A = this chain, B = another copy of it.
Amino acid sequence: MLELHDGALNVPEILTRWYSDESAYNYGAYIPFVGTVRDEDGIDGLSFDVYEPILLSWFETWCLKVAPLGAKLKMAHSRGDVLNHESSYIAAVFSPKRRVALETIEQFVEDFKASAPIWKYDLKEGERIYARERSTAIAGAGLLGENK
- A interface residues with partner B (beta carbon < 8 Å): 11-12, 15-16, 19-20, 23-24, 26-40, 85, 96, 98, 101-102, 105-106, 109-110, 113
Contacts and interface: CB of A to CB of B under 8 A. Distances in A.
Contacts of A11: 16, 19
A23 B83 CA distance: 12
Contacts of A28: 35-38
Protomer copies: 2
B35 A98 contact: yes
A146 to B, nearest CB: 32
Nearest to A113: B98
Given A12-B15, A19-B34, 18 more contacts: A11-B16, A11-B19, A15-B15, A15-B32, A16-B16, A23-B36, A23-B85, A26-B38, A27-B38, A28-B37, A29-B33, A30-B34, A30-B36, A31-B33, A31-B105, A33-B98, A35-B98, A106-B106
B96 A106 contact: no
B102 A98 contact: no
Nearest to A23: B85
Contacts of A29: 33-36
14 contacts: A15-B15, A15-B16, A16-B16, A23-B36, A24-B85, A26-B38, A26-B40, A28-B35, A28-B38, A29-B33, A30-B33, A30-B36, A102-B106, A106-B106
